[in-house]
């Protein structure tokens, strides 16, 4: 129930939709119920003989009952005019009632739809906003599918079931009360017996749907796994094909698909059982009413008249509709609540890294970034140990060392993607934790191995960090990044779409666009994760020149895979097993004859 109300709070301001909905629904119910009661006068007008005493004298009923009042009015009309005239009058009333009932029904559905769309809009926004605020380490492949399925599918399930139940909770009970009032006004005794069906079917159905919630949670999780797997398979399609692994991948997907389908089948069976059970019970009761009420009329020892009995049966057949709607929504709410819990779980996940309340803005980069005894863990595994390092303004610092030593992890600490486990990171003497993370990142630009591009035009990709840049600024940046020439040769020049993740461009082209993006943003500190080794010689030279242009007059921190490219660096830091093994200039380190020298020799030998 708590989850339900939390989800409902996304419908705020609910009264904007709820009040007109309630009014329209009430009128729709009133006219709808009235329509059934018109059956009585129709029956009497057509079937009773003119000499029937009911019509020769009009019995005055002082009750408020509109059904009786209308019947009396029709009797009056039959007396003063004739039956044909009365029938025509009833038909006009039927038409108007149907029109009004449908008019209000349409509006009630319209307001409910508005509420549904509004809730969905707010819920999706809340989920996506929070996902974007989460810390970088939250995201891994396993979670990606989960997040996608929560935003795409669970939110849909939630909004449907939540608003649907809301509709059912108000409309159907009120409609039920109106129908019951009509039934009671015709025969109290018969109604008491016949309505016993409600608690009985309620009990049976609650037994049937008991396990649904647990199954729904499993089903949402399984769907998330499938989405994650699909995403991974599409991203890695070339590798899958190259390794002839399509069969294995298909099998793996099919296994999850099978599990998901079986679970859904089981759930649907339960869910669908609820409705026929309540309907069958309802039919049993109708048969009972027919037998019991019918024999009372036939034996002549009942006040019940044939016309009233027909209204009674017609109305009772309608009673089953709200009951069915209530049971249906009762059996599907479990799926909605379990999807809701998953969505709320994502909304409630707190980012591990938030600005302090009194965090200051760093306006520019003045002197240096310093790391003091910094250690970092992934879970229990220590990755960096007691790193102390000063990166002075205007200098180029290169991080080198064996694979897995911790270079990328150290680089991730600089834009504060993670906080260290212990030790301090300072910029211009300010502790990172006393500054807003946005103002720290504002001073930095990144070019990394991944060369991530958005599925947009080349111009928009270059202008990503400065969306209001003019085309001339974009071109100037592209020129510095050695990208202008090849961009002009693409189909639509700067307006060419680069495809999903930039897959219409070559590796070197993607990198140069990323460099142009960093040039245009023009931050004082540049973080480079070089990947020139993946490129051919010509492309490598173009990218390397572009990087050199980018590093000019800036503070740069470079992860170098090609040691030949960083020999001019002001400081080379060798990182091995999470520690600084040695540091200094190229000459100093070569003179020491330590790990750096061995790495250089190994690379020269390989080359
Ligand atoms: N998200 C993560 N969760 C757990 N461990 C991680 C994660 N990322 C990296 N590691 C571990 O941290 C260690 C350092 O990795 P890192 O990527 O920083 O090394 P590197 O020096 O940059 O390596 P390379 O030169 O091969 O890119 C490795 O042992 C790696 O397994």
444: left (phi over 0), alpha (psi -120 to 50) or beta: beta
Ligand 1, atom nearest to 410 Cα: 18
Mean pLDDT of the chain: 83
User: What pLDDT score was predicted for residue 506?
Assistant: 86
Higher pLDDT, 60 or 26: 26
Least confident of 43-47, 123-127, 316-320, 517-521: 43-47
| pLDDT tens profile 366-392 | 899 999 999 999 888 999 999 999 999
Select from 376, 400, 409 the residue to mutate for testing ligand 1; criterion: most ligand atoms less than 8 Å from CB: 409
Q: Which residue's alpha carbon is at the smallest distance from atom 5 of ligand 1?
A: 378
Beta strands 571-576; 555-559: pairing state: unpaired
> Comparing 5 with 67, which gets the higher pLDDT?
5
For residue 382, report the distance from its CA to the centre of ligand 1, in Å.
Answer: 11
Most confident of 234-243, 265-274, 314-323, 494-503: 494-503
**Confidence tier at 141 by pLDDT (50, 70, 90):** low
The runs of H, that is alpha helices, within 454-502 are 458-462, 471-480, 484-488
Parts of the chain belonging to CATH 1.20.1560.10: 2-348
Whether 62 has a pLDDT exceeding 60, the answer reads no
Using alpha carbons only, what angle is made at residue 101 by residues 98 and 103, rounded to the nearest 5 degrees? 105
Least confident of 203-207, 222-226, 334-338, 430-434: 203-207
Phi, psi of 576 (to 5 degrees): -135, 130
Rounded CA separation 459/474 (Å): 7
461 pLDDT tier (thresholds 50, 70, 90): very high
Q: Which residue did the predictor score with more confidence, 5 or 209?
A: 5
Q: Which of 407, 412, 561, 581 to mutate to test the pocket of ligand 1 (most atoms within 8 A of CB)?
A: 407
Return the higher-pLDDT residue of 262 and 548.
262
**Closest C-alpha among 569, 589, 581, 588 to residue 391:** 569
In tens, the pLDDT along 144-156 reads: 778 888 888 888 8
Strand partners for 392: 368
Question: Is any atom of ligand 1 closer than 6 Å to the C-beta of 119?
Answer: no
Please compute the mean of the pLDDT values over residues 329-353 and round it to a whole number: 83
Ligand 1 pocket, residue 484 CB under 6 Å: no
- 53 pLDDT tier (thresholds 50, 70, 90): very low
Give the residue with greater pLDDT, 350 vs 501. 350
What's the token pair of residue 580? Answer: 């600084």
Calculate what percentage of the chain has a pLDDT beyond 90. 22
CB of 430 closer than 6 angstroms to any ligand 1 atom:
no
DSSP 494-525: GG-B--GGGTTS-HHHHHHHHHHHHHHH--SE
Q: Within its chain, how far is the Cα of 360 from the centroid?
A: 34
Q: Where in the chain is the domain with CATH 3.40.50.300?
A: 356-440+569-607
119 φ/ψ angles, rounded to the nearest 5 degrees = -65, -45
Burial of residue 386 (CB within 10 Å: 0-12, 13-18, 19+) is middle
Q: In 3-state terms, what secondary structure has residue 301?
A: coil
Q: How much of the chain exceeds pLDDT 70, in percent?
A: 90
- Please check the confidence at residue 92 and state whether its pLDDT lies above 80: yes
Predicted confidence at residue 562, as pLDDT, reads: 76
**C-alpha of residue 5 to centroid of ligand 1, in Å:** 43
The closest of 179, 202, 203 to 191, measured between CA atoms, is 179
CATH fourth-level superfamily of 2-348:
ABC transporter type 1, transmembrane domain (1.20.1560.10)
pTM of the model: 0.74
Q: Tens of pLDDT along 164-206?
A: 787 787 788 888 888 888 888 888 877 887 777 667 766 776 6
Ligand 1 center to residue 347 CA distance, Å? Answer: 29
- Does the pLDDT at position 55 exceed 50? no
Residues whose CB is less than 8 angstroms from the CB of residue 215 and which lie 6 or more positions away in sequence, other chains included: 263, 266, 267, 270
Assess if CATH 3.40.50.300 describes domain 356-440+569-607: yes
pLDDT of residue 399: 93
- The average pLDDT across 465-473 equals 90
404 lines ligand 1 (CB under 6 A): yes
- Once rounded to an integer, what is the mean pLDDT over residues 128-136? 87
Tell me the C-alpha distance between 405 and 408, whole Å.
9
Closest atom of ligand 1 relative to the 409 alpha carbon: 18
């Amino acid at each position: 129930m708590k989850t339900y109300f939390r989800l409902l709070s996304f419908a705020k301001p609910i009264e904007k939709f709820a009040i007109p909905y309630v009014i329209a629904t009430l009128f729709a119910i009133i006219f709808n119920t009235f329509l059934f009661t018109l059956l009585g006068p129709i029956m009497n007008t057509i079937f009773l003989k003119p000499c029937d005493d009911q019509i020769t004298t009009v019995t005055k009923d002082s009750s408020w009952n509109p059904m009786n009042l209308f019947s009396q009015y029709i009797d009056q009309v039959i007396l003063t005019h004739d039956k044909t005239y009365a029938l025509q009058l009833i038909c006009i009333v039927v038409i108007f009632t149907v029109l009004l009932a449908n008019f209000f029904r349409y509006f009630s559905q319209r307001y409910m739809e508005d509420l549904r769309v509004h809730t969905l809009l707010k819920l999706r926004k809340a989920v996506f906003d929070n996902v974007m605020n989460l810390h970088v380490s939250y995201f891994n492949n396993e979670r990606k599918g989960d997040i996608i399925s929560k935003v795409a599918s669970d939110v849909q399930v939630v909004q449907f079931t939540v608003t649907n139940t809301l509709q059912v909770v108000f409309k159907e009970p009120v409609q039920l009360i109106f129908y019951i009032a009509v039934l009671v006004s015709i025969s109290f005794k018969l109604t008491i017996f016949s309505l016993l069906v409600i608690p009985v079917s309620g009990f049976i159905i609650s037994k049937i749907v008991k396990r649904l919630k647990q199954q729904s949670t499993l089903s949402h999780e399984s769907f998330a796994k499938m989405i994650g797997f699909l995403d991974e398979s599409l991203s890695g399609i070339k590798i899958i094909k190259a390794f002839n692994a399509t069969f294995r991948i298909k099998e793996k997907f099919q296994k999850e698909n099978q599990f998901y389908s079986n679970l859904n089948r089981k759930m649907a069976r339960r869910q669908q059982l609820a409705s026929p059970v309540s309907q069958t019970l309802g039919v049993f009761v109708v048969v009972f009413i027919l037998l019991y009420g019918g024999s009372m009329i036939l034996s002549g020892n009942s006040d019940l008249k044939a016309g009233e009995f027909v209204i009674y049966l017609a109305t009772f057949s309608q009673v089953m509709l709200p009951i069915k709607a209530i049971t249906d929504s009762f059996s599907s709410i479990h799926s909605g609540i379990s999807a809701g819990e998953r969505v709320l779980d994502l909304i409630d996940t707190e980012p591990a890294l938030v600005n302090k309340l009194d965090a200051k803005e760093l306006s520019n980069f003045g002197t240096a970034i310093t790391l003091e005894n910094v250690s970092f863990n992934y879970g229990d595994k220590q990755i960096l140990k007691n790193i102390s390092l000063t990166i002075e303004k205007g200098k180029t610092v290169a991080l080198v060392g064996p694979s897995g030593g911790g270079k990328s992890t150290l680089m991730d600490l600089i834009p504060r993607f993670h906080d260290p486990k212990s030790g301090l990171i300072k910029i211009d003497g300010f502790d990172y934790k006393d500054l807003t993370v946005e103002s720290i990142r504002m001073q930095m630009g990144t070019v990394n191995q991944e060369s991530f591009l958005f599925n947009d035009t080349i111009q928009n990709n270059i202008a990503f960090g400065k969306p209001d840049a003019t085309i001339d600024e974009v071109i100037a940046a592209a020129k510095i990044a050695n990208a202008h020439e090849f961009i002009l040769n693409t189909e639509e020049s700067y307006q060419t779409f680069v495809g999903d993740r930039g897959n219409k461009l070559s590796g070197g082209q993607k990198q140069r666009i990323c460099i142009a993006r960093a040039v245009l943003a023009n931050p004082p500190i540049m973080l480079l994760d070089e990947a020139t080794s993946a490129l051919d010689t010509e492309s490598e030279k173009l990218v390397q020149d572009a990087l050199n242009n980018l590093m000019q007059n800036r503070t740069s921190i470079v992860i170098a895979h090609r040691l030949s490219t960083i020999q001019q660096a002001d400081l080379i830091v060798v990182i091995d097993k999470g520690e600084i093994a040695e540091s200094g200039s190229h000459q100093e380190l070569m003179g020491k004859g330590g790990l750096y020298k061995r790495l250089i020799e190994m690379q020269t030998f390989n080359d």
